Chain A
């Protein structure tokens, strides 16, 4: 039912007809207002900007036909429903009117109440529906126009492909850029054009299977990021694929430039790193020569004047070495290449070392140099002793430099301790000139000293404290400074050390007097000056040496001659030291392949040292080396420390001395270090004997290494040793006294390994020697002496082993 009052217009001049329609409308029960127009003109006026719910237009009108008025009403945009009223039999006119925009027609004879009501209702419904449709069409076209505007102006290509792979949409400003004529592709199969446009069938198919694809493709020197996704109908079935291609050429180019820049930066860093490594070697090699030759010259007879000059040369080169070290360390830190070792060491020794190192400088300036070490500090801590010494030496050296009177105090104390870690604070306190407050903040910055005067007056690179700070911070420590100008300065730093590892390091004994003259040593070194230095050092010790100019020569010599040790430079022409060592270890026959090899390295990092070990080398020494350090390491590696043994060797088995096989219980340098403590003194005077008696006799590192934490095994082994050795020794001595040489040698042979297990390798070696002696050799008084020594040492070891047992239990 229609509720509102309908507006109805009747265009007709005939009074009767008007009355008929008026009556019919009245009878139709339609609520309405009736308007009349009687001719063409008034009809036109009545429909001007005025919509009606229904217009009855009579065909015959004064001033023109109804058809003409109909055309005019429609062309004026009036959409009111129009019913043409015709005379009976005028269907032709009705059809013509309908063609020209009339909505219906009604013959005059049907203008009854029911007929007209039906027609009006139909018109009203139709008007409402078409109104809604027009509204929807309007909304749709607005949306389409908006989308078109967006697509047309975006630098993208929007395309759609239906399930039959036909391109149904191809739009976007991106097409203009590519000069693609979209008309050519629309409604054509995609497959035909995959070479002409950047849309790949492969990705389309993936999207059609329901997968979202996002790829970047190059097309005509441009890069497009193309996104394919499926479109679905109401029942969620895939009916096609829609794709968006965006021109990302600019982004891509920027990305490429960035990558190029990054690569360049990385390459540069690598070049810089290589440069540093090479410089390190290149600078050190001549310095090695200068320092080495200076040391040698100092041992020759010189006039006082010459001695003075030489001291100056030595001081200058030492200083230069410090500066080179500083610069290299600084560069290393800057390049992020600084690495730290984790090795067990004795802190007391490190501090004692630092004090010894600077004692003469302090004496020269007449200032006190004292150390103060907390007794709570564990005997062995794990960390990087070299870097710690570097930090301490730098601070102590600075303190002495800036102090004129009073004292420099180096102290260390535990500030935090758990079962696994200990945090240790180190203070270096002086009574020197102090640092003005305004300079305190920048004291750790590069190239900064308290004043520009300072540089002139005191020298130095100004890098020392920067390096110290970095070295502390890279090990997660902290460093602070407090100063009072004129009163003194105190640098404090704290570092954390692991205390888990409790390897008791043997004490160093004096090695100066040891004789290594019977050794034959091969030196692989390409630098002639370094060869000269080494030649001189060994000539003082009367050691027989041979030179190889490169790794290949070293391998050749090691193959044809027996050597007790090879000193191997790492950087050499033709074949480097690492390769040479590996070649010796893997290709030479016994016994040549098991010769101890010591690397000579310039400033080796932890990883370089590891490399040496990995290539089968036993130890390493930094160039330029202190001759005493070298000798110490040689003794350890060749195990020739025991004077009595040597006497035996030299008098009775001269020929066999060179065949002495190194004790290869372990190939690592770390382990061979552990046996330093077993060295005995050279001269058998009382002092030396006392020293000898006090020296540690046992070393359980090897046993512990094998046990891997199984203490019961260690206990069992020690108990076994304590139970059976006394009897074996006494039996052996009995046989010796009774000149039962064979029985004597059998026992020596049998018990020898047990001494090795207890770390008494000098006894083990001694037994190996006597085991091979002939009857005549055994009769020598030295053997008697040796056996007594073995017996006395063994009995001393019992006490130590019992102590170990108690602590283990």
Chain B
């Protein structure tokens, strides 16, 4: 199972990578939205986790591009912050599957990942 994680903070990235790798996933890291889209296109992950606030391309733009340009049905989890509920709604409308609020517990994230993967298979 390949998980693409898009997040601009390297500590968060490291934490998520560590947790998911321990769970047995292959983790693909992307530090910004541009890198994320490139890697999604070339590596075709089984699930995407992306922060909303990111340089170059926001999380919302990533959702939009994945659904409309790349035309991939891969599950997407949006990482949002408190107070950005409107953005989350927007993300859902664009085709995101789930969201998790920052600061999130890696355990919760891994549960949500598992659940989505189970749904899509």
| A750 and B8 contacting across the interface, CB-CB below 8 Å | yes
Asked if A665 is an interface residue, CB under 8 A from chain B, the answer is yes
Nearest chain-A residue to B79 (Cβ)?
A753
Q: Which of B19, B83, B103, B107 contacts A752 (CB 8 A)?
A: B103
Listed stretches B9-17, B42-50, B112-120; interface member: B9-17
Q: Is there a chain B Cβ closer than 8 Å to A298's Cβ?
A: no
Question: Which residue of B has the minimal Cβ distance to A721?
Answer: B11
CA distance A772 to B102 in the complex (A): 13
- Known A-B contacts A752-B103, A756-B103; the reply to A708 vs B22 at CB < 8 A is yes
User: Quick check: B18 and A713 within 8 Å, CB to CB?
Assistant: yes
Which A720-771 residues have a C-beta within 8 angstroms of B? 720-721, 724, 746, 749-754, 756-757, 764, 768, 771
Contact check, A661 vs B18: say whether CB atoms are below 8 A apart.
Answer: no
A717 at interface by CB-CB < 8 Å: yes
Min CB distance B89 to A, Å, is: 13
The answer to whether A706 and B101 touch across the interface, beta carbons within 8 angstroms, is no
Q: Is A211 an interface residue (CB 8 A)?
A: no
CB-based nearest B residue for A750:
B9
Residues B103 and A665 in contact, CB atoms below 8 Å apart: yes
Q: Judging by beta carbons under 8 Å apart, are A772 and B11 in contact?
A: no
**Mask of B1-39 contacts with A, CB within 8 angstroms, 1/0:** 000000011111011001100100000000000000000
Given contacts A717-B11, A724-B11, contact A753 B83 (CB under 8 A): no
Contact of A753 with B19 in the complex, beta carbons under 8 Å:
no
Q: Could you tell me if B19 and A706 are in contact, using CB atoms closer than 8 angstroms?
A: yes
Check if B83 sits within 8 Å of A664, measured CB to CB. no
Q: Across the two chains, which residue of chain A brings its CB closest to B84?
A: A772
Which among A706, A707, A749 is the interface contact of B81 at CB below 8 angstroms? A749
Pairwise interchain contact B53-A746, C-beta atoms closer than 8 A: yes
- A753 contacts B11, C-beta separation under 8 Å: yes
Task: List residues of chain A with CB within 8 A of the CB of B12.
Answer: 753-754
- Closest A residue, CB atoms, query B106: A706
Known: A661-B82, A771-B81. A764 touches B15 (CB 8 A): no
Question: Is B105 an interface position by the 8 A CB rule?
Answer: yes
Determine the residue in chain B with the shortest Cβ distance to A767: B103
Q: A664-B105, A752-B103, A754-B9 are in contact. Are A772 and B15 (CB under 8 A)?
A: no
Name the contact of B101 in the complex, choosing from A659, A661, A716, A772 (C-beta under 8 A).
A661
**Which residues on A sit within 8 Å (CB–CB) of B105?**
664-666
Chain B contacts for A756, CB-based, 8 A: 103
Closest-by-CB residue of B relative to A656 is B83
> Do residues A663 and B14 form an inter-chain contact, with CB atoms below 8 A?
no
The distance from the CB of A615 to the nearest CB of chain B, in whole angstroms, is 18
> How many angstroms from the CA of A757 to the CA of B8 in the assembled complex?
16
Report if A757-B11 is in contact (Cβ < 8 Å); known contacts: A666-B105, A752-B102, A752-B103.
yes
When chains A and B are docked, how far (Å) is the Cα of A659 from the Cα of B107? Answer: 23
A117 to B: closest C-beta gap in Å = 108
State in angstroms the CA–CA spacing of A283 and B108 once bound together. Answer: 41
CA distance A772 to B83 in the complex (A): 7
Q: Indicate whether A753 sits within 8 Å of B9 (C-beta atoms), given known contacts A661-B82, A720-B14.
A: yes
Q: Return B115 CB to nearest CB of chain A, in Å.
A: 15
Query: Which residues of B have CB within 8 Å of A757?
Result: 11, 15
The secondary-structure label for the interface of chain A is helix
- Chain A contacts of B15 at CB under 8 A? 706, 717, 753, 757
Which residues on B sit within 8 Å (CB–CB) of A724?
Answer: 10-11
A716 nearest CB neighbor, chain B only: B14
Which residues on the B side are within 8 Å of A665 (C-beta)? Answer: 103, 105
B9 neighbours in A (Cβ, 8 Å): 750-751, 753-754
Produce 1/0 per residue, A760-788, CB < 8 A to B: 00001000100110000000000000000
Determine the distance from Cα of A67 to Cα of B10 in the docked complex, in whole angstroms: 133
What is the distance, in angstroms, from A683's C-beta to the closest C-beta of chain B? Answer: 29
How many whole Å from A592's CB to the nearest CB in chain B? 14
Q: Which of A692-734 contact B (CB under 8 A)?
A: 706-708, 710, 713, 716-717, 720-721, 724
Chain A residue at smallest Cβ distance from B12: A753
Contacts of A771 in B (CB 8 A): 81, 83
CB under 8 Å from chain A, chain B span 87-121: 101-103, 105-108
A665-B103, A706-B18, A753-B103 are contacts. A768–B82 as well, Cβ < 8 Å?
yes
- A750 CA to B103 CA, complexed, in Å: 10
* In the complex, chain B residues whose CB is within 8 Å of the CB of A664: 105, 108
Residues of A within 8 A of B101 (CB): 661
Contacts of B103 on A, CB cut-off 8 Å?
663, 665, 752-753, 756, 764, 768
Nearest CB to that of A764 among chain B residues?
A: B103
Q: Which residues of B contact A713 (CB under 8 A)?
A: 18
**Chain A residues near B11 (CB, 8 Å)?**
717, 720-721, 724, 753-754, 757
Query: A765 CB to closest chain B CB, in angstroms?
Result: 9
CB distance from A721 to the nearest CB of B (A): 6
Which chain B residues border A772 with CB–CB below 8 Å? 82-83
Bound Cα distance A706, B11 (Å): 14
A 67-85 binary contact with B (CB < 8 Å = 1; else 0): 0000000000000000000
**Shortest distance from the beta carbon of A801 to any chain B beta carbon, whole Å:** 13
Whole-angstrom distance between the alpha carbons of A713 and B105 in the complex?
17
CA distance A641 to B53 in the complex (A): 29
Do the beta carbons of A753 and B14 come within 8 Å of each other? no
Q: Across the interface, which residues of B come within 8 angstroms of A754, CB to CB?
A: 9, 11-12
Q: How many angstroms from the CA of A786 to the CA of B117 in the assembled complex?
A: 42
Decide if B10 touches A720 in the complex (CB within 8 Å): yes
Give the CA-CA distance A698 to B54 in the complex, in Å: 28
A16 to B68, CA, bound (A): 148
Which A residues are in CB contact (< 8 Å) with B107?
A: 666
For A661, the chain B residues whose CB sits under 8 A away are 82, 101
With a cutoff of 8 Å between Cβ atoms, the chain B residues found around residue A716 in the complex are: 14
- Give the residues in chain B near A768, CB-CB below 8 Å: 81-82, 103
Interface residues as binary, B41-66 with A (CB distance below 8 Å gives 1, 0 otherwise): 00000000000010000000000000
How near does chain A come to B96, taking the closest CB pair, in angstroms? 16
Give the CA-CA distance A666 to B18 in the complex, in Å. Answer: 18
Q: Which residues of A contact B83 (CB under 8 A)?
A: 771-772
**With a CB–CB cut-off of 8 A, which chain B residues contact A706?**
15, 18-19, 106
Cβ-closest chain B residue relative to A771: B81
Residue of B at shortest CB range from A747?
A: B9
Cα(A751)–Cα(B108), bound, Å:
20
Task: Give the residue name and chain of the A residue nearest to B15 (CB).
Answer: A757
Q: Tell me how far the C-beta of A640 lies from the nearest C-beta in chain B, rounded to whole angstroms.
A: 16
Contact, CB under 8 Å: A717 / B14: yes
B91 to chain A, nearest CB (A): 15
Distance of A212 Cα from B108 Cα, bound (Å)? 60
**CA–CA, A772 and B82, complex, Å:** 8
Contacts of B14 in A (CB 8 A): 716-717, 720
Distance in angstroms between the alpha carbons of A5 and B11 in the assembled complex = 124
Alpha-carbon distance A708/B8, docked complex (angstroms): 25
- Chain A nearest Cβ from B54, distance in angstroms: 9
Q: How near does chain A come to B106, taking the closest CB pair, in angstroms?
A: 6
**What is the CB-to-nearest-CB distance from B64 to chain A, in angstroms, rounded to a whole number?**
21
CB distance from A644 to the nearest CB of B (A): 19
Roughly how many angstroms separate A710 CA and B107 CA in the complex, as a whole number? 16
CA distance A708 to B19 in the complex (A): 10
In the complex, the answer to whether A749 meets B82 with C-beta atoms within 8 Å is no
Residue of chain A at shortest CB distance from B10: A720
* CB-based nearest B residue for A752: B103
A724 to B83, CA, bound (A): 26
The 14 listed contacts between A and B (C-beta, < 8 Å) are A706-B19, A707-B18, A708-B22, A717-B14, A717-B15, A720-B11, A746-B53, A749-B53, A749-B81, A750-B9, A753-B15, A753-B102, A764-B103, A772-B82
**5 residue pairs, one from A and one from B, having the closest CB atoms:** A754-B11, A772-B83, A756-B103, A750-B9, A665-B105
Chain A residues near B (Cβ < 8 Å): 659, 661, 663-666, 706-708, 710, 713, 716-717, 720-721, 724, 746, 749-754, 756-757, 764, 768, 771-772
Known pairs A708-B22, A771-B81; list 9 more (Cβ under 8 Å).
A664-B105, A664-B108, A665-B103, A707-B18, A749-B53, A750-B9, A757-B11, A757-B15, A772-B83
